[in-house]
A and B are shown apart, each in its own frame.
Chain A
């Protein structure tokens, strides 16, 4: 059973590499958005120390966003649109797990790539991208893993919308925009106006970016780390189970399109 998933993991990774050209472009694409955010904050925060701290935060936030970008709207979404989900369900593997493995291969590839680029960037720019303390690292890695699960849960739930609307692009854009505003990729939640911050704290998006980056940079410390991880884990479980239920519901409700 596990071997099957492993084979799938490897082939998904290979498929990824086969499209190397557009992969690099896609990294560049995310980088442009990141650079624009950096420029805006560079302008808005005249204090150099503040701007430097912000730079480190935004860089890590960008990396977190990049390595957890899953594009399920593409993979699953298209199969739903084309009515091919039915054939997927015939495969002797769990649907949700199946695509999770594929996404994991994306994550590995994107993590390697962004680590390389980030290391290079840190060398050139000479800015300090080190963790707050080495002790923060284990919690950080755990948090990255949980961030992936949360992100997968969010994406899997969003992608169910394609059963209703047939619009991959709309779903993708919605998720992207919510991520942009509420994950903390744009700025640490602490800098948000209180009303907006309150909204962000009721949503799961913060656990994809703000929580792991906060732990890494020491913005979240001590007992707060444990609480953040617990919240993250609870969100992950809730989202995975919730989206799974949603998927079951959609399947029974919707007549699958096409022959």
Chain B
């Protein structure tokens, strides 16, 4: 089975969503508003501690921009993961399972969220503004799409793990998905502000920090290149693989509800 079907599924869903113009405008607008709100909390902290673990406000803004774009990319490519609890509770997974495609990727790509565009665009603007001031080298911009994609695979993989829990515990809630978002947002701050154990968590166990902290650190000349070049794709591969495993585990425990 080629890549074509997944692309076609994604494209058709995207085209349809784009037809709802209000959705698009509201989505992009609200995403930008949310970033402003997020920057607001950052501002509160910076107004009390002008340098965070040795990072200046603009340098922290770069982290903020990258995580925002990672979130945007996940919302564009893999957003359906948020709907899984609803599908499970209603037993609609049945329908998905009898299509001749790999259920996980096909499921993920068929409901892009439009405010993703706002996150991608807003993140890019913040990145360019802060990057311009800091005089980032050109390759930091060139590598950006790659880092964003790797990061969003890692991010989505953890959301898929949450899905597997839905299969098993049959939750109608998606609040536990929120842990993943909260952890992603925690990497808006340099890892140095956190206690050792927590930065270890974000670097190794739930490597969202590794996906933004290392690349930006490299761009700023703080860390060596090896980290920034090797770790994101490595983490994406491992996490992506584990996502398939945990999806399969979830399906095995899935007993469709109802008649």
A binding-site residues for B, Cβ under 8 Å: 19, 21-23, 25-26, 28-30, 32-33, 36, 39-41, 43-45, 71, 74, 78, 161, 164-167, 169-170, 173-174, 177-178, 180-182, 186-187, 191-193, 196
Contact = CB atoms under 8 A, between A and B. Distances in A.
Given A22-B175, A174-B30, A180-B37, 12 more contacts: A22-B166, A22-B172, A22-B173, A29-B182, A32-B183, A33-B182, A40-B45, A43-B52, A43-B193, A74-B172, A165-B26, A174-B33
A29 B172 CA distance: 15
Interface string B108-150: 0000011100000000000000000000000000000000000
Contacts of A19: 169-173
B38 interface: yes
Nearest to B48: A44
Contact of B194 (A43, A71, A167): A43
A72 to B, nearest CB: 13
> At the interface, is chain B mostly helix, strand, loop or mixed?
helix
Given A19-B171, A22-B171, A186-B41, A164 B22 contact: yes
> At the interface, is chain A mostly helix, strand, loop or mixed?
helix
B186 interface: yes
A39 B198 contact: yes
A169 B31 CA distance: 12
Nearest to B85: A22
Contacts of B26: 161, 164-165, 170
A28 B33 CA distance: 27
A167 B27 contact: yes
A196 to B, nearest CB: 5
Nearest to B162: A25
B179 A170 contact: no
Given A29-B176, A161-B26, A167 B171 contact: no
B86 A78 contact: yes
Contact of A180 (B22, B41, B53, B172): B41
Contacts of A40: 45, 189, 193-194
Contact of A45 (B22, B48, B53, B172): B48
